[in-house]
A = this chain, B = another copy of it.
Amino acid sequence: MAMQELTYREALRQALADAMTEDNRIVVIGEEVGIYGGAYGVTRGLIDRFGAERLVDTPISEPAIVGAAVGAAMTGLRPVAELMYVDFLGLVLDQLANQAAKIRYMFGGQIGVPLVLRTQGGTGRSAGAQHSQSLEGWVMHTPGLRLAMPATVADAYHLLRHSLTLPDPVVFIEHKALYTRKEAVDLAVPVLPWGRAAIRCAGSDVTLVAYSRMVSVAERAAEALSNEGIEAEVIDLRTLNPLDMETVAKSVIRTGHAVVVSEACLTAGPAAELVARITEECFDFLEDPVLRLAAEDIPVPVSPALEVATIPTVSLIQDTVRRMLNR
């Protein structure tokens, strides 16, 4: 396959289509995934190719959707359960964290639960406190769940394809503001393995660690900083379980400075884990404490003027790095 221009949304759709063609155990189960084509249009058209038995429109019954996916995964199917918003995680965490995540362990390794829970999160549509959250922290804190959060079009494709081959449950969180992101990609070209972080931009003064939408925010900050003579290395984690500390530590040991950027709330969120790990593993090389730029510890307000101010921005990253390096 040659280079093609694809959006993040199209790449996800392509990944589903390619995987479903290769593996007919894959079924997509969720609200409006079939005829409607997905609330964010990811599955649009797939029902015409694969039929209603493989794009299963469901009632608005999130716990039963995830629970049914668990049962289906245990009996020969490879379900992709779609949760329309990650904000609804509070309805399904029992099925996800008490059931899907623990079944292999509780049953002594007899069986696994190879399901993918696709969902999307983040701010950007002034959709309010119950439709704009970044709740990957809850998932990351649950042993047994793999967690992928693609930042690029290529990763939207490859991480989803890879997720659909894993033997254990994967939570796959897209970002609502990335669906229209467009890139020229060659889907045939192998990307990094599952669980490996990507260096999106090399630099020697400071390491910016990010994932999902914050990667491009960090990239833009790095670009702006570069104009001021500060070279920032931008690392895209790609998966939060597993966490590729090797790549991160190698960079931080070189730069001596690290800033973690996350759209989830600050306290007890993913950024805290990264600070803890980086500090544990790179302590002697750190010239400053690892800093966290994350969402404010508040619900997301609807008012667009406030909404944009709740999450890290390019200028916040820039200012922080400048201050950190005393420039």
Chain B nearest CB, measured from A242 CB (Å): 10
Q: Interface 1/0s, chain A 88-126, versus B by CB < 8 A?
A: 111111111110011001100000000000000000000
Chain B nearest CB, measured from A278 CB (Å): 9
- Across-interface contacts of A267 in B (CB, < 8 A): 140-141, 143, 241, 243, 273
Q: Interface 1/0s, chain A 292-304, versus B by CB < 8 A?
A: 1000111101000
**Would A101 and B299 be within 8 Å (CB), given that A106-B128, A268-B268, A276-B272 are in contact?**
yes
A217 CB-CB contact with B under 8 Å: no
- Across-interface contacts of A95 in B (CB, < 8 A): 90
Residues in A129-170 with C-beta less than 8 Å from chain B: 129-130, 137-138, 140-144
- Name the residue of chain B whose CB is nearest to the CB of A281: B289
What is the count of identical protomers in the complex? 2
- Partner among B130, B273, B283, B298 whose Cβ is within 8 Å of the Cβ of A272: B273
Q: Are A279 and B273 touching (Cβ within 8 A)?
A: no
A291 CB-CB contact with B under 8 Å: yes
Please, how many angstroms separate the alpha-carbon atoms of A243 and B243 in the complex?
27
Please, how many angstroms separate the alpha-carbon atoms of A49 and B87 in the complex?
41
- Across-interface contacts of A30 in B (CB, < 8 A): none
Q: Are A299 and B141 touching (Cβ within 8 A)?
A: no
- Partner among B101, B128, B268 whose Cβ is within 8 Å of the Cβ of A140: B268
Closest 4 CB pairs of A and B: A90-B93, A90-B94, A283-B289, A275-B276
Interface residue ranges, A against B (CB under 8 Å): 87-98, 101-102, 105-106, 128-130, 137-138, 140-144, 241, 243, 264-265, 267-273, 275-276, 279-280, 283, 286, 288-292, 296-299, 301
